[in-house]
A and B are shown apart, each in its own frame.
Chain A
């Protein structure tokens, strides 16, 4: 019997957009308020896993052509290398820097090296979480 998952798929299409938006919000919010790379990455991973559940693995794989193992590695590399930035400038490992810049559209914006670090964390978390779910589901 072919399972009827029209409702699941329709809801997923809308919900995934909302979850992605919310995870970006959580991620950007992280510097001064609750949020950050870990939780942002985790909610993104939740959205991707929802996609895997609603559609089948092959279909999602065709559309999201990312090797999540490599994504994890790239994320960790990004985070560690941001930490090394401090070493290059003669400060302690993991020292962060920030400054205020005039940007078009955004106006005066605070830019931090912690944001790059957090991007690395987010990528690592997405990669790990999705990888775990995929490994379990592929297990026979």
Chain B
């Protein structure tokens, strides 16, 4: 029993509810939401060290023993993601102070933001399949409102697509839950895992596994990403950044959880299909990133490439591959928030997202330009920046099991990332300075600090990779040994 596990979920929830009672007091809203995120982050740090010392932590809600009650399970993988979520949310929140606008602040922006974090943290920590569905709905509902916040015509159009896609995939999610419950008679993830291990993963269960793969692919943007470029380019910058950093990652987390803990018996079927999906995703994402001349489009297609790349590490199911995925997942959450915030700042300054109309920003905004440059190199995986280790390990993992095509496509996709990011950098920051100071549509006052903070975290992740290596190795080991998870929950 470890009551700390529930805290990253209920602290933002309680604070969000308190904020609903005082919607007009903006100072209070800002201070309390920052406090909630920071407190959740610190508690998560504490849990992380407990896991390192004593193994996987569990909490049986209400004292009802698993598998009858709902379990909360903190293994290293999920806790690392919760911590990263808190870091990213903290920086995006500070960015939002200056950029979101007073009207949106009074329209319950902060409570909604906190509910989004509640849902994301809950999805990472829960050990029950139906509870996972509930937390998915919590953050989806918050994201429905956030994506249409402000109510522009384009926003409403894209949010309709987003809502319909997610309602359909949620319905499939429920079908999958129902199938699995009727086959195994349980919804506790650990219990599911042990029952399927006992009975064997026959054709029917593999089919259900593929249904879950479709559901989570829709959420993660793995091949089924048709909704993603539109929906991620319409909301205000701070919201777009948090979406790009967190929402697809929850889908990726769910894929990892399902296919390392439950459906890991038929890798020649399920994991090969995931591998093919990852390869196609990377190719299509790379084409999109290389082809568009629009800041937001380039960045969203980069989100898609990284989804494919992270999942490629799962396909290998080796320690190197999984470690690479975890490194890259953490790196990607931070760096995607970073480049989205910078992209949003560029659009704020110039009033357009068309790269052809932007030029020479670096003269007046050197800090912004160089931070973008470091971020771009980090995304490509230049050592010693944070993307490097993830890329090495994922490629090593795919080579170890002989999927050279997958690793090769991953490396090729990195070249396209390099091409697209440098294209963005050269067009936006180099060249003649078109805008004088008066012509700029907004100011970067107060916006540089959160971006710099994210960059520091990203650099620390790259340079201090040795320091977090113990945590990542532990996470990979726990993912590879489902028995650790099962023993921790069912005792």
A20 to B23 alpha-carbon distance, docked (Å): 30
How many A residues face the partner with a CB closer than 8 A? 19
Closest Cβ of chain A to B14, distance in Å, is: 6
Residue of B3, B20, B62 near A69 (CB, 8 A) is: B20
Query: What per-residue 1/0 map shows which CB atoms of B1-43 lie under 8 Å from chain A?
Result: 1010010001001100110110100000000000000000000
* Residues on A with beta carbons closer than 8 Å to the beta carbon of B14: 77, 80-81
Query: What per-residue 1/0 map shows which CB atoms of A66-86 lie under 8 Å from chain B?
Result: 000110111011001101101
A96 contacts partner chain B, Cβ-Cβ < 8 Å:
yes
A60 contacts partner chain B, Cβ-Cβ < 8 Å:
no
Residues from 46 to 82 in B contacting A, C-beta threshold 8 Å = 59-63
**Can you sample 19 A-B contacts with CB below 8 Å?**
A69-B20, A69-B23, A70-B21, A73-B18, A73-B21, A74-B17, A76-B17, A77-B18, A80-B13, A80-B14, A86-B63, A87-B6, A92-B1, A93-B3, A93-B6, A93-B59, A93-B62, A95-B63, A96-B62
**A77-B61 in contact given A87-B3, A92-B1, A93-B6 (Cβ < 8 Å):** no
- A72 engages B63 (CB within 8 Å): no
**3 smallest beta-carbon distances between A and B, as pairs:** A73-B20, A94-B62, A73-B17
A96 to B61 alpha-carbon distance, docked (Å): 10
Closest A residue to B59 using CB positions: A92
Residue of B17, B18, B21, B62 near A92 (CB, 8 A) is: B62
- B10 engages A80 (CB within 8 Å): yes
- B61 engages A93 (CB within 8 Å): yes
A80 to B61 alpha-carbon distance, docked (Å): 12
* Residues on A with beta carbons closer than 8 Å to the beta carbon of B21: 70, 73-74
- Do most interface residues of chain B lie in helix, strand or loop, or is the interface mixed? helix
A91 contacts partner chain B, Cβ-Cβ < 8 Å:
yes
* Residues on A with beta carbons closer than 8 Å to the beta carbon of B20: 69-70, 72-73
* Residues on A with beta carbons closer than 8 Å to the beta carbon of B1: 92
Closest B residue to A94 using CB positions: B62
* Residues on A with beta carbons closer than 8 Å to the beta carbon of B59: 92-93
Closest Cβ of chain B to A129, distance in Å, is: 15
* Residues on A with beta carbons closer than 8 Å to the beta carbon of B3: 87, 92-93
* Residues on B with beta carbons closer than 8 Å to the beta carbon of A95: 62-63
* Residues on A with beta carbons closer than 8 Å to the beta carbon of B18: 73, 77
* Residues on A with beta carbons closer than 8 Å to the beta carbon of B61: 92-94
Closest B residue to A88 using CB positions: B3
- A92 engages B13 (CB within 8 Å): no
- A92 engages B60 (CB within 8 Å): yes
Closest Cβ of chain B to A122, distance in Å, is: 16
* Residues on A with beta carbons closer than 8 Å to the beta carbon of B17: 73-74, 76-77, 80
Residues from 391 to 450 in B contacting A, C-beta threshold 8 Å = none
* Residues on B with beta carbons closer than 8 Å to the beta carbon of A86: 62-63
Residue of A70, A84, A92 near B10 (CB, 8 A) is: A84
Closest Cβ of chain A to B135, distance in Å, is: 15
A72 to B20 alpha-carbon distance, docked (Å): 9
Given A81-B14, A93-B61, output 16 extra A-B contacts at Cβ < 8 Å.
A69-B20, A70-B21, A72-B20, A73-B20, A77-B14, A77-B17, A83-B10, A86-B62, A87-B3, A92-B62, A93-B3, A93-B10, A93-B59, A93-B62, A94-B62, A95-B63
Closest Cβ of chain B to A33, distance in Å, is: 20
* Residues on A with beta carbons closer than 8 Å to the beta carbon of B13: 76, 80
* Residues on A with beta carbons closer than 8 Å to the beta carbon of B62: 86, 92-96
* Residues on B with beta carbons closer than 8 Å to the beta carbon of A94: 61-62
* Residues on A with beta carbons closer than 8 Å to the beta carbon of B23: 69
Closest Cβ of chain B to A136, distance in Å, is: 16
Closest B residue to A74 using CB positions: B21
Residues from 95 to 121 in A contacting B, C-beta threshold 8 Å = 95-96
Query: Which of A72, A92, A95: most chain B CB closer than 10 A?
Result: A92
Closest B residue to A72 using CB positions: B20
* Residues on A with beta carbons closer than 8 Å to the beta carbon of B10: 80, 83-84, 93
Closest Cβ of chain A to B299, distance in Å, is: 34
Closest Cβ of chain B to A89, distance in Å, is: 11
A26 to B23 alpha-carbon distance, docked (Å): 33
* Residues on A with beta carbons closer than 8 Å to the beta carbon of B63: 86, 91-92, 95
Query: What per-residue 1/0 map shows which CB atoms of B375-397 lie under 8 Å from chain A?
Result: 00000000000000000000000
A39 to B364 alpha-carbon distance, docked (Å): 61
* Residues on B with beta carbons closer than 8 Å to the beta carbon of A81: 14
A80 to B23 alpha-carbon distance, docked (Å): 20
Closest Cβ of chain A to B251, distance in Å, is: 27
Closest Cβ of chain B to A34, distance in Å, is: 20
A93 to B126 alpha-carbon distance, docked (Å): 14
A95 to B20 alpha-carbon distance, docked (Å): 26
Closest Cβ of chain B to A20, distance in Å, is: 25
Closest Cβ of chain A to B267, distance in Å, is: 36
* Residues on B with beta carbons closer than 8 Å to the beta carbon of A87: 3, 6
* Residues on B with beta carbons closer than 8 Å to the beta carbon of A93: 3, 6, 10, 59, 61-62
A69 to B19 alpha-carbon distance, docked (Å): 11
A72 to B59 alpha-carbon distance, docked (Å): 27
